[in-house]
Structure 1
Amino acid sequence: MRLPARHPFGRGVATGAALAVLGLSGLAAVPAAAASFLPHRASYRLTLDASKPSGQLEDMSGRIEYEITGDACTGYDTVTRQESVASTGDGSPLRQAMTSKAWEDAEGKSYRFSSTSQDGDDTSKIEASVVRQGRDALKVTVVQPKDRTLELKGDILLPTEHVSQVLKAAAAGERVLQAKVYDGASDPAKVYDTLTVIGAPSTDETRVAGPAKPSLSGHTFYPVTVSYYDEGGFGGPPAYVMAISLYDNGVVGNLKIDYGKFAVLGAMSTFEALKPSEGCGK
């Protein structure tokens, strides 16, 4: 699953990036030492974290639907749909919806995506394709909202590639991973600096979300916390922090996204393992 990059509320409620999950801002190159991603479809119920006082929101509810298909031979297709309603106690509820579709080359060399966002009565669309130019640059060709070409400098990971690198680090016993990450679904020019902290591995089946038990029982998972910073912003507070249970096959269990002034909980509500592709030996 791609790690999300978009807060699930309307403008004026919070600053920061927008949710393109896991992923679930969707969470690529799959190293030989890492498990391939499990094709699956999952949904997550969003609620306001009542344990973190918020002066901004009285209530919030929503849903994320996420799907990943493909393999290390053909690349990975992801579809993310998100809807949320937030109440501030002042005026009408704030409604937001977003659909994001993406394909990423399994070697992290190319990526294309499109997203449609509805924020109240406003609708916006983004469509672009990305090609890696060496290790230190991405060429982004934007089709919507207007034609333009961007060159992003730096050793930048694509979304699913980022998840793969986190899993590779976890399997090697590493506990910290620092990386620049590009998603683009909310801003085709946006690059985040990220800091990932990886907890101890576990196979505790009592912690597996109920809908996924048949598919995830026996799999190792890691408590993973990813802090997203505006590029060059490591000296200040993160735009948001995401804590997830990340399984060795790329599935994300329950999650929490903390935006500083409030936090959102995502509980897995449905899960379906999809038939893997045949004939891929990677």
Structure 2
Amino acid sequence: MLVSTRLILVIAVLSVLPLPGTALAARVLLPHRAVYDLALVKASAPSGVGMVTGRMSYEFSGSACVGYTTQTRVVLRVISEEADGVIDRQSTTFEDPGGKSFSFVTKSYIDEELQEEVRGTATRQDEDVKVKLEKPKQQTLNIGSTLFPTQQMLDVLSRADAGEMFYETRLFDDSSEAITTSILIGKEAEIEQKNPVTPALAKGRVWPVTKTYFDESDKEGVTVPQSTLRFTLHETGIMRDFVTDNGDFSLSGKIISLEVSDMNSATCE
């Protein structure tokens, strides 16, 4: 299913909900489990997508003392001109507290049949990152200077604090290459205080953020926009409602439940 393959690329963006330096290490990210309802916002005629519904669960745990673990699962029911089907993408990652290593396992299914498994570890030496892949095949890649997902989240929050509005960086999540990312941070927004689903977000600071991902594989060396993720980011690192768009179609995510803990409040020994 070509449509399903493209949707897997779109939902891969959702697995990356964004420590070098004292300012970044001092930031506390709140361990939490969030569930989002997913729906099709729009689709172009050539895409062949008729309807998409689904759900995403995102669990973030750990601290600057022990490192950060994320578990993401996205399940989509897709109706298209080609066929109907269910896409299921499951991802688990771990970042060490110093941002020196990042391990990842991602499995993508269509109608309960495994389509792809990506497994490996990325390690940082000075400014460069080396990736050792175990699956889909064993290989070692040098991908240059890049951030890991939690590092990037801390970086976005630090720059939002400082009033910075636009910058570019590179991100490595759970694939075989780094992605050039432009980040636009909007003016600090009014916080929604009466949402019964997310009382934990009734205070604090929030910013609208737009992340655009670029394809670095263009043979002429020109980066091409691949997809966009727009969301509201709480100062604790929790993402509220979002929209992801790859040009052919876009999906929205609406938070429907949120469980938080205070594990990060412990001091490092």
Q: TM-score, normalised by structure 1?
A: 0.84
Aligned to 1:10: 4
User: In the aligned structure 1, how far is the partner of 2:167 from the partner of 2:75?
Assistant: 31
Change (3 A) 1:278 1:165: closer
2:179 is aligned with 1:196 = no
User: Unaligned stretches of 5+ in structure 1?
Assistant: 1-8
User: Unaligned stretches of 5+ in structure 2?
Assistant: none
How far did residue 210 of structure 1 move?
3.9
Identity %: 27
Aligned to 1:4: none
Structure 2 residue aligned with 1:229, among 214, 222, 228? 214
Superposed CA RMSD: 2.4
How far did residue 64 of structure 1 move?
0.6
Query: Secondary structure at the residue paired with 2:28?
Result: coil
| 1:270 counterpart letter in structure 2 | S
Aligned to 1:173: 163
How far did residue 140 of structure 1 move?
1.0
> Which portions of structure 1, spanning 4 or more consecutive aligned residues, are displaced by more than 4 angstroms?
28-31, 52-55, 232-237
Query: Secondary structure at the residue paired with 1:17?
Result: helix
Per-residue deviation, residues 112-144 of structure 1 (Å, max 9, x unmatched): 111111034343211111110111x11111122
User: In the aligned structure 2, how far is the partner of 1:277 from the partner of 1:164?
Assistant: 14
- Number of aligned residues: 262
Per-residue deviation, residues 227-249 of structure 1 (Å, max 9, x unmatched): 00012669564110000001111
Q: Does structure 2 conserve the Cα–Cα contact (< 8 Å) formed by 1:203 and 1:219?
A: no
Per-residue deviation, residues 53-100 of structure 1 (Å, max 9, x unmatched): 554211100111000011011110110011001111x35313210111
User: In the aligned structure 1, how far is the partner of 2:157 from the partner of 2:12?
Assistant: 20
| 1:149 counterpart letter in structure 2 | T
Q: Does structure 2 conserve the Cα–Cα contact (< 8 Å) formed by 1:15 and 1:239?
A: no
How far did residue 269 of structure 1 move?
1.0
Aligned to 1:61: 53
Per-residue deviation, residues 137-169 of structure 1 (Å, max 9, x unmatched): 11111122222221112x211111111111111
Structure 2 residue aligned with 1:111, among 79, 99, 102? 102
Q: Does structure 1 conserve the Cα–Cα contact (< 8 Å) formed by 2:206 and 2:233?
A: yes
Change (3 A) 1:152 1:91: closer
Q: TM-score, normalised by structure 2?
A: 0.88
How far did residue 16 of structure 1 move?
8.3
| 1:169 counterpart letter in structure 2 | R
2:138 is aligned with 1:147 = yes
User: In the aligned structure 2, how far is the partner of 1:111 from the partner of 1:236?
Assistant: 25
Q: Does structure 2 conserve the Cα–Cα contact (< 8 Å) formed by 1:28 and 1:105?
A: no
Q: Which has the higher helix share?
A: 2
